[in-house]
Chains A and B, each alone.
Chain A
Amino acid sequence: MNPYLSIVLTRVKMLLQYRVAALAGISTQLFWGLIRVMIFGAFYEKSGNQTLTFSECVIYIWLGQAIFAMFPWYPDHEIQAMVRSGNIAYELSRPIDLYWFWFFRAFATRAAPTLLRSFPIFLIAGLFFGLKIPSDFSHLLGWLIATLGGLALSASISAILSISVLFTLNGDGVTKLFPAVAYIFSGMIVPLPLFPESWQLFLKALPFSAFLDAPFKIYIGKVSNDEFLSILAHQAAWVLFFVFTGKFLLNRAVRRITVQGG
């Protein structure tokens, strides 16, 4: 089997074992979604006339909860532990490209819990809490494709977070701040359309709109075919950017490790 495919499959298998964690995660996400829906409902009560309608806002919230586990929350814990204990040299001794090894590991780490958690959240939120399923199947498919792109973006950012640990040892700085920035500018806290108008262009250009905001627009069918392609191009451009930056940084780090002996 292709080594990278094998990495993804073993990690998915491993992560699927944490079923209790998944159950806890699902209930957490439902709880948070409910709080959010109530908060936004109260805000909308007085001035409902917005670019984003309330029922769209509810869909936004639930889609966000469904893909919550997909976010590049932290670097790979195993890599962090290896750097700390000095065992990182073993990673270098594998006969495959280290960058792609870490990339696919991150991909699997994000994909497995998302897969496991998003279906029940979809089901429950769809049945009881106002998450509408698009009537046009192509919108759902488009959303799925764009979310997959978001997953790739998440993996490329996670890989950079892991690589940054090689430079800072404990990785306290970048690895904590970057996810926070990603969190708010993805629309997870407040949907991006509700941010001030003057910010919109900037928010759209940032890579983080590719996680939730862009796929959401496809989901509710507000996107033409051309716009759909430009969303995918935006995602691809950022993924490429992070992949090349990651490869560059990793090469430098590896050179330093092999020269200084870790």
Chain B
Amino acid sequence: MKDLRLYFRLVSVSIKSQMEYRASFLMTSFGNFLLTGIDFVGVWVLFSRFGKLKDWSLPEAAILYGIINMGFALSEAVFRGFDTFDRMVKSGDFDRVLLRPRNTVIQILGQELQMMRIGRFSQGLAVILWGGLKLKIFFSIPCLALLLFAILGSAALFSGLFVLQATLSFWTIDSLEIVNTVTYGGVETAQFPLSIYNRWFRGFFTFVIPLACINYFPAHAILGKKDVLGYPEFFGWVSPFFGFAFLWFCFKIWEFGVRNYKSTGS
């Protein structure tokens, strides 16, 4: 509880310093909106050329797209401290965190709440609103609740990847781009239904990194669609939970990393 209060205290400081550069904040948010929105232009071009992607229409794909982009934007904003953690290790700021008598994770999260990510978030929101209105799915409370659950679950999953990336920087700073590949590649992948990919790829994004659980399965439940892969519909109602489980697991690895850091230095 006290840690939560500290978190909000730190975050309000971070927001205040971002608002010191208001013009820059507006610029970068708008830039982020356009930059990430370009992906949807690509999706739109493809659907307008080919009509359908297997049995998926553009509004249906818009639900997949919206969940993943909103979730990722939330994670980018909130877990910014872990995303840029390698710099903290290099500059010695992580030592400073250890020198303060508070929870380390809270301090790293409190480092920065990156507001400009609202660009990607609102872009995803716009897309999902458009798709949802076309498909008329917003009139059911359970559907809305599941949508929210899926968005939060995907935020948790990407946060887990950021934590993993941060943990890796205790050992190496050169190969962080590998995790980046999975993170950004995951966003790209999940903008389309998982059933279009080949088997090993699907397996990787279902069982190793449970990307399917936070968008493919719940999207089926929301849309009332039959899964060609044969997973039952009810699974989509609970599967976003695996996003949180993944985050929890990544924090366990993180703790191991911190212990190792304390015994080997950097």
Q: When A and B assemble into the complex, do they touch directly, with CB atoms less than 8 Å apart?
A: yes
Cβ-defined contact, A38 with B196, below 8 A = yes
Specify the main secondary structure of chain A where it touches its partner. Answer: helix
Cβ-defined contact, B27 with A42, below 8 A = no
Cβ-defined contact, B189 with A35, below 8 A = yes
What residues of A have a CB within 8 angstroms of the CB of B181 in the complex?
24, 27-28, 31-32
Contact of A183 among B24, B31, B38 (CB under 8 A): B38
A selection of 11 A-B contacts at a CB cut-off of 8 Å is: A28-B177, A28-B185, A32-B181, A32-B188, A35-B188, A43-B50, A46-B51, A46-B52, A172-B28, A177-B31, A196-B45
What residues of A have a CB within 8 angstroms of the CB of B249 in the complex?
none
Does A252 have its Cβ within 8 Å of any Cβ on chain B?
Answer: no
A170 to B31 alpha-carbon distance, docked (Å)? 13
Taken residue by residue from 29 to 43, chain B's Cβ proximity to chain A (1 for < 8 Å, 0 otherwise) reads as 001101100110110
The segment from A2-10, A78-86, A138-146, A187-195 that touches chain B is A187-195
Cβ-defined contact, B39 with A39, below 8 A = no
Cβ-defined contact, A39 with B45, below 8 A = no
Tally of chain A residues near chain B (CB < 8 A): 33
What residues of B have a CB within 8 angstroms of the CB of A28 in the complex?
177-178, 180-181, 185
On whether A45 and B188 interact (CB within 8 A), knowing A172-B27, A190-B42, A194-B45, the answer reads no
Does B91 have its Cβ within 8 Å of any Cβ on chain A?
Answer: no
Taken residue by residue from 170 to 182, chain A's Cβ proximity to chain B (1 for < 8 Å, 0 otherwise) reads as 1011001100100
Closest 5 pairs between A and B when the two form their complex, measured CB to CB: A42-B196, A24-B177, A189-B42, A20-B174, A176-B31
Which B residues, 50 to 74, have Cβ-Cβ distances below 8 Å to chain A?
50-54
Nearest neighbor of B116 in chain A, beta-carbon distance = A172
A21 to B175 alpha-carbon distance, docked (Å)? 7
What residues of B have a CB within 8 angstroms of the CB of A38 in the complex?
196-198, 201
Does A135 have its Cβ within 8 Å of any Cβ on chain B?
Answer: no
Nearest neighbor of B37 in chain A, beta-carbon distance = A180
Does B48 have its Cβ within 8 Å of any Cβ on chain A?
Answer: yes
Does A260 have its Cβ within 8 Å of any Cβ on chain B?
Answer: no
Cβ-defined contact, A42 with B178, below 8 A = no
Cβ-defined contact, B54 with A42, below 8 A = yes
Cβ-defined contact, B35 with A180, below 8 A = yes
A47 to B38 alpha-carbon distance, docked (Å)? 24
Does B192 have its Cβ within 8 Å of any Cβ on chain A?
Answer: yes
A48 to B136 alpha-carbon distance, docked (Å)? 31
Which A residues, 202 to 221, have Cβ-Cβ distances below 8 Å to chain B?
none
Not counting A44-B50, A172-B24, a sample of 20 additional A-B residue pairs whose C-beta atoms are within 8 angstroms of each other reads A20-B174, A21-B174, A24-B177, A24-B181, A27-B178, A28-B185, A35-B185, A35-B197, A39-B196, A43-B46, A45-B54, A47-B51, A176-B31, A177-B34, A177-B35, A180-B31, A184-B41, A194-B49, A195-B45, A195-B49
A39 to B181 alpha-carbon distance, docked (Å)? 17
Contact of A39 among B31, B34, B178, B192 (CB under 8 A): B192
**Min CB gap A117→B, angstroms:** 12
What residues of A have a CB within 8 angstroms of the CB of B197 in the complex?
35, 38
A93 to B9 alpha-carbon distance, docked (Å)? 47
Cβ-defined contact, A46 with B50, below 8 A = yes
Nearest neighbor of B185 in chain A, beta-carbon distance = A31
Does A225 have its Cβ within 8 Å of any Cβ on chain B?
Answer: no
What residues of A have a CB within 8 angstroms of the CB of B54 in the complex?
42, 45-46
Taken residue by residue from 45 to 85, chain A's Cβ proximity to chain B (1 for < 8 Å, 0 otherwise) reads as 11100100000000000000000000000000000000000
**Min CB gap A36→B, angstroms:** 8
A50 to B178 alpha-carbon distance, docked (Å)? 35
A252 to B100 alpha-carbon distance, docked (Å)? 50
A32 to B177 alpha-carbon distance, docked (Å)? 13
On whether A50 and B41 interact (CB within 8 A), knowing A28-B177, A39-B196, A180-B34, the answer reads no
Cβ-defined contact, B35 with A176, below 8 A = yes
Cβ-defined contact, B185 with A173, below 8 A = no
Nearest neighbor of B36 in chain A, beta-carbon distance = A180
A25 to B175 alpha-carbon distance, docked (Å)? 10
A209 to B45 alpha-carbon distance, docked (Å)? 17
Taken residue by residue from 188 to 226, chain B's Cβ proximity to chain A (1 for < 8 Å, 0 otherwise) reads as 110010001110010000000000000000000000000
Contact of A184 among B27, B31, B38, B53 (CB under 8 A): B38
What residues of B have a CB within 8 angstroms of the CB of A32 in the complex?
181, 185, 188
Taken residue by residue from 8 to 35, chain A's Cβ proximity to chain B (1 for < 8 Å, 0 otherwise) reads as 0000000000001100110110011011
A201 to B181 alpha-carbon distance, docked (Å)? 34
